[in-house]
Structure formats: C-alpha cells, structure tokens
Amino acid sequence: NAGVTQTPKFRVLKTGQSMTLLCAQDMNHEYMYWYRQDPGMGLRLIHYSVGEGTTAKGEVPDGYNVSRLKKQNFLLGLESAAPSQTSVYFCASSYSKRNTEAFFGQGTRLTVV
Amino acid sequence: DAKTTQPTSMDCAEGRAANLPCNHSTISGNEYVYWYRQIHSQGPQYIIHGLKNNETNEMASLIITEDRKSSTLILPHATLRDTAVYYCIVLIREYASNTGKLIFGQGTTLQVKP
C-alpha cells in the first residue's frame, strides 16, 4: 500500500516549457487535490476533483490545468511554465465527503528558470 | 469562508505539554476544526478534528470552546520529533460539489527544545 505517490520528485524547467505532474493513489479515494507551497508559506489549493472525470478550481488555478481520467490518477499540467510557478507541489486524496483525513504525497519540487 | 488565526511561532520544552491556540471567530455551526502538521517540508499529516466536543486520539487532544470561536491543540508530552508547522483549518463545505476543501493558513511553527 503506497498511499499517495507523486512523480517526479524534482524537476527543472525552462520558461515556456510544458510538463505534467502525476499523482497516483491506491486507496480508492474519490477526492483528490493539488496544492502549491512557496517558501515560508502555507499550502494553496490549485485544483481539486470530487470524482473520476470531474475537476474544479481552487484558490490559485491560473496557469494550470488538471485531468482525472482515472479514479486513481490526478494530473497537473503546466502548458507554459513561468518562474512564478517555481514551488513545491503537493497532491492529496481523501475518501470522506467531509475530507476527514486527507493523505498527502511527499511533494514535487519544481524550479522554472 | 471562516478563517483562522494562529500565533506565528511557539517554543516548548521536551516532555512538556504543547498547547497550540487557534481563533476561528466566524466559524459556522456545521464547520469542523481540523489540525494538520508539516514536518520539515514533507507532505502535511492529519492530526485530529472536531465539531464541538473535545476530542482525543493517540497523537493529540483538541479542546474547542463552548462558543466554538477558538480551539487548542494539545500535544501531551512533546518530543523533538514534534517540531513542525501546525495548521488549524476550518473545513469549508462546497454544497454544489458536496465536498469540503482544505484551505491552509500560515500555521504555527512549534519548536520543541531539549
């Protein structure tokens, strides 16, 4: 039982490049979330999904797209990376409708130069 | 959206109880108080949650005031491994999507000292 797995763990991008971050969970959770965390700050919600095939915007969605084609996977895409997107990205999943206990991945450290 | 206010940082002696306060004066009647912590830039870890009654689990206790405008997370015997950023969160329910979104604030940095 791996929990929540994020791929990759580290990445350096050039401005304007695109990439996709993968989040996979093996707990059969319905709800999945993408957050970003900048140095010295709390986590900010980018997008979330309440089930396969559905996505919704969070606090800071601009510059990102997401997809949830399979229940166990939640993809975060950057179409044209900008230095302002340099951050640590965390994925989370939960089963309960009240998000009773969200499980987090270990993070992806992304640097855009 | 109900917001929370926490002190920026706190110190605690190892072996002593750590009491972390949180103010949430605009909390609604059906909103829960959740606590998470983040150790050294790892993914956040769930600690405990409650609605209006006090709660206890193997990690901590949660004391919620009768008016629900504030709460305190108690780590009964703090260890060096409890050094972390602690987040107090009020669960925001999105009725349209029938789910709650965890919205994080700045948290309290707890430093447990030998």
Residue A73 pLDDT:
97
CB-neighbour burial class of residue B9 (10 A; exposed 0-12, middle 13-18, buried 19+): exposed
Which structure tokens are listed for B7?
Answer: 């002190």
DSSP B81: G
CB-CB neighbors (< 8 A) of A58 in chain B:
101
CB-CB neighbors (< 8 A) of B99 in chain A:
31, 48, 50, 97, 99
Per the CB < 8 Å rule, is A99 touching B91? yes
Across the range B90-101, mean pLDDT stands at 59
| Residue from the list A35, A42, A59 with its beta carbon closest to the beta carbon of B106 | A42
Task: Please state, rounded to an integer, the average pLDDT across all residues of chain B.
Answer: 88
Which structure tokens are listed for B17?
Answer: 């109880």
Per the CB < 8 Å rule, is B46 touching A102? yes
CA distance B95 to chain A (A): 11
Contact, B23 vs B72, CB < 8 A?
Answer: no
H helix or E strand, kind and range, residue B100? strand B99-101
Amino acid (one-letter) located at A53: G
pLDDT at B1 > cutoff 60: no
Residue A33 pLDDT:
92
Instruction: Give the residue among A11, A108, A58 at the shortest CA–CA distance from B100.
Output: A58
Model confidence pLDDT, tens digit, residues A4-44: 999 999 999 999 999 999 999 999 998 899 999 998 788 89
pLDDT at B97 > cutoff 50: no
